[in-house]
């Protein structure tokens, strides 16, 4: 596929979902970071269900220093891998409070050195907080990009590298939320809603059906 076609293929998705924001609830940057850590292997809906009492205790990074790990685990016990995630939130919050004055640095490489912050989490947080041109590739984005034939990859990490290579800065700034929402609500993993999809003619998956 020629580069000039990618934008025209993705434009309907950006037009439909472009005004939307991340579906995780938060009030502060550290709460956003915590919610994104919690959302791995868990739906945003479930994260939003369990975070209000936790966020009432933990507003800023420094607040994790006043709450025991067991207490954090008790708040977060209804998300997958809550023990690891609780430890990541406590350790990362402590590092941010002690070394960065509680502020999340706008540095992709640096924040990946914090406990529990992988490439996807780092990119989502920086895109949302600082409007940086990153696409945090999750299973939805990985699936959509492969079905459309824009990439041909086996893992989200490979898709991440391909997106970085293929798209310019401006396009990457626009892509994250529309692609996640399109994958979450339209191009579903098991039963994609192809009959109402404007992308049929450009979709490799649909053309092979
Ligand atoms: S045609 Fe179907 S598989 Fe292709 S992008 Fe649309 S919903 Fe997804």
CATH of 3-20+134-208, one of 1.10.1670.10, 3.40.605.10, 3.40.50.1220, 3.40.50.10800: 1.10.1670.10
Distance 176 CA to ligand 1 centre (A): 17
Q: State which of 140, 151, 183, 199 you would mutate to test the pocket of ligand 1, scoring each by most atoms of that ligand within 8 A of its C-beta.
A: 199
Mapping DSSP to helix (H, G, I), strand (E, B) and coil, where does residue 2 land?
A: coil
Q: Which atom of ligand 1 is nearest to the CA of 193?
A: 7
Alpha carbon of 32 to those of 43, 84, 90, 128: distances in Å?
15, 17, 14, 9
For 29-130, the fitting CATH number among 3.40.50.1860, 1.10.340.30, 1.10.10.10, 2.60.260.20 is 1.10.340.30
Give me the residue spans of the domains in the chain: 3-20+134-208, 29-130
Annotated catalytic residue 120: yes
Q: Is 45 annotated as catalytic? A: no
Are 54 and 76 a contacting pair, CB within 8 Å?
yes
pLDDT at res. 3: 53
Question: What is the residue-level pLDDT of the chain in tens, covering all 209 positions?
Answer: 555 578 788 999 999 988 778 999 999 999 999 999 999 999 999 999 999 999 999 999 999 999 999 999 999 999 999 999 999 999 999 999 999 999 999 999 999 999 999 999 999 999 999 999 999 999 999 999 999 999 999 999 999 999 999 999 988 989 999 999 999 999 999 999 999 999 999 899 999 87
Is pTM beyond 0.85 here? yes
């Amino acid at each position: 596929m020629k580069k000039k076609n990618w934008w025209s293929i993705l434009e309907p998705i950006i037009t439909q979902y472009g005004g939307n924001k991340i579906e995780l609830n938060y009030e502060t940057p550290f709460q956003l970071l915590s919610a994104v850590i919690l959302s791995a292997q868990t739906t945003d809906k479930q994260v939003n269900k369990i975070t209000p009492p936790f966020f009432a205790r933990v507003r800023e990074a420094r607040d994790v220093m006043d709450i025991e790990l067991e207490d954090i685990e008790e708040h977060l016990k209804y998300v997958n891998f809550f023990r690891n995630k609780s430890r990541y939130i406590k350790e990362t919050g402590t590092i941010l409070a002690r070394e960065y004055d509680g502020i999340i640095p706008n540095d992709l490489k640096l924040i990946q050195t914090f406990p529990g912050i992988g490439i996807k989490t780092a990119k989502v947080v920086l895109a949302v907080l600082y409007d940086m041109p990153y696409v945090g590739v999750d299973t939805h984005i990985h699936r959509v990009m492969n079905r459309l034939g824009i990439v041909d990859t086996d893992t989200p990490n490979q898709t991440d590298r391909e997106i970085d290579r293929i798209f310019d800065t401006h396009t990457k700034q626009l892509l994250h939320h529309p692609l996640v929402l399109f994958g979450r609500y339209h191009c579903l993993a098991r039963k994609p809603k192809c009959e109402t999809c404007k992308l049929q003619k450009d979709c490799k998956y649909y053309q092979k059906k």
